[in-house]
């Protein structure tokens, strides 16, 4: 989540600096951040002075929501990128030339990799306006549950809407010693979908490729997921049925079958080698918190078969373990997979 600076001292200092030394250009990056800045200035009795100074300044607004906030303040933006991307804002500024210009950038806790450095390297004086900073959640429990679900492949996709959120999740995974497993999940089984390229940077820093919508908005992100996920589903021909394993459920001949977490863990372990016998000891290791009692496998397997509603999908191989009853015609294809 975003919060205003704890004591507002940095924002107050930046606001006074801009009032007394007006910049040539102001870059507004988020609607909530721009509104927060104006509201904070009002609270200090500086609102009218700030708006008066900004009224004579060229304002670049990153996207439609930011334009709305700028106009609500009685100001008018000079330009806004069609891509809603800070990269396009930077390209525009560098193309026009910024040497000798004073540029104020409304910050909001999300990193702008290379943005400030590139402007300064091109000869601009850059003033940061730190409206908000990123704070970790007070209750870390939901984050830990999400990480556990990723590691166990209990989710099919994970969406990221800000770079700090992505960085925070990876940081928490590292604190818990789960970073390698989380990266492995994101690299293969759990689809990482980001609202835009800036959001994807922390993941890319770990070598994780992401999918992103053409328009960096939540609606297109949801549409992208709807397009991507069906094609990623693996369909197995088992005992005369078509079986698809999802994050928390299984489709059997198109019917959705909710399956308990322990059952899903077993089913995923079996599906990694469809048609092959998987030993009880290996299945026991796949069970979350099962300890060393192999009877836990038998109990979870019984519940799994009941949940699937088709007991013959999974065969018991006496004294060896269990296997998915892969249809004979598919044996060769999946044995080579």
Average pLDDT for residues 247-252, to the nearest whole number? 85
The answer, yes or no, to whether residue 319 has pLDDT greater than 60, is yes
Higher-pLDDT residue of 17, 115: 17
Helix axes 197-204, 163-175, angle to 10 degrees: 20
Phi-psi region of 81 (alpha: psi -120 to 50; beta: other; left: phi over 0): beta
Tens of pLDDT, residues 262-282: 898 899 889 888 899 999 999
pTM of model > 0.85: no
Higher-pLDDT residue of 230, 145: 145
Tens of pLDDT, residues 2-21: 444 545 888 999 999 999 99
CATH number belonging to domain 235-335: 1.10.10.10
Question: Could you tell me how far CA 36 lies from the centroid of its own chain?
Answer: 25
Question: Does domain 141-232 correspond to CATH entry 3.40.50.10090?
Answer: yes
Phi, psi angle pair for 134, to nearest 5°: -80, 135
Q: How many CB atoms lie within 10 A of CB 233?
A: 11
Cβ atoms of 50 and 15 within 8 Å: the answer is yes
Q: How far apart are CA 194 and CA 157, in angstroms?
A: 11
Collect all residues with Cβ–Cβ distance below 8 Å to 221 and sequence separation of at least 6: 159, 161, 193, 194, 195, 212, 213
Average pLDDT for residues 15-42, to the nearest whole number? 94
Within the chain, which residue ranges are assigned CATH 3.40.50.10090?
Answer: 2-134, 141-232
Question: Does domain 2-134 correspond to CATH entry 3.40.50.10090?
Answer: yes
Per DSSP (E only), the strands in the chain are 2-4, 25-28, 58-61, 102-107, 125-130, 132-134, 157-160, 191-194, 235-238, 241-245, 249-252, 255-258, 278-279, 314-317, 321-324
- Coil, helix or strand at residue 246: coil
Cβ atoms of 28 and 66 within 8 Å: the answer is yes
Which of 234-238, 292-296, 298-302, 333-337 is the most confident on average?
A: 298-302
């Amino acid at each position: 989540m975003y919060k205003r600076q704890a004591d507002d001292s940095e924002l107050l200092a930046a606001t006074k600096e801009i009032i007394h030394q007006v910049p040539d250009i102001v870059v507004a990056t988020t609607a909530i951040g721009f509104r927060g800045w104006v509201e904070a200035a009002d609270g200090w009795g500086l609102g009218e002075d700030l708006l008066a100074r900004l009224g004579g300044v060229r304002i670049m607004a990153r996207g439609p929501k930011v334009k709305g906030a700028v106009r609500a303040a009685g100001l008018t933006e000079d330009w806004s990128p069609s891509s809603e991307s800070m990269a396009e804002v930077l390209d525009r500024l560098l193309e026009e030339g910024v040497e000798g210009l004073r540029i104020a950038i409304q910050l909001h806790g999300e990193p702008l990799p290379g943005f400030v450095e590139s402007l300064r390297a091109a000869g601009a004086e850059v003033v940061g306006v730190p409206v908000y900073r990123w704070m970790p959640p007070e209750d870390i429990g939901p984050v830990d549950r999400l990480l556990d679900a990723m590691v166990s492949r209990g989710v099919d996709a994970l969406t990221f809407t800000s770079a700090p959120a992505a960085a925070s999740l990876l940081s928490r995974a590292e604190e818990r010693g789960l970073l390698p497993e989380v990266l492995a999940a994101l690299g293969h089984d759990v689809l990482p979908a980001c609202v835009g390229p800036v959001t994807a940077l922390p993941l890319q820093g770990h070598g994780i490729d992401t999918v992103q919508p053409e328009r960096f908005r939540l609606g297109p992100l949801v549409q992208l997921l709807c397009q991507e996920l069906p094609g990623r589903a693996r369909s197995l021909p088992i005992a005369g049925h078509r079986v698809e394993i999802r994050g928390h459920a299984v489709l059997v001949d198109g019917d959705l079958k909710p399956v308990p977490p322990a059952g899903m863990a077993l089913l995923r372990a079996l599906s990694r080698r469809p048609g092959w016998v998987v030993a009880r000891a290996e299945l026991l290791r796949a069970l979350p918190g099962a300890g060393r009692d192999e009877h836990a496998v038998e109990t979870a397997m019984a519940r799994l078969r009941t949940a699937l509603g088709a007991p013959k999908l999974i065969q018991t191989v006496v004294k060896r373990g269990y296997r998915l009853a892969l249809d004979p015609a598919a044996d060769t294809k999946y044995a080579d997979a």
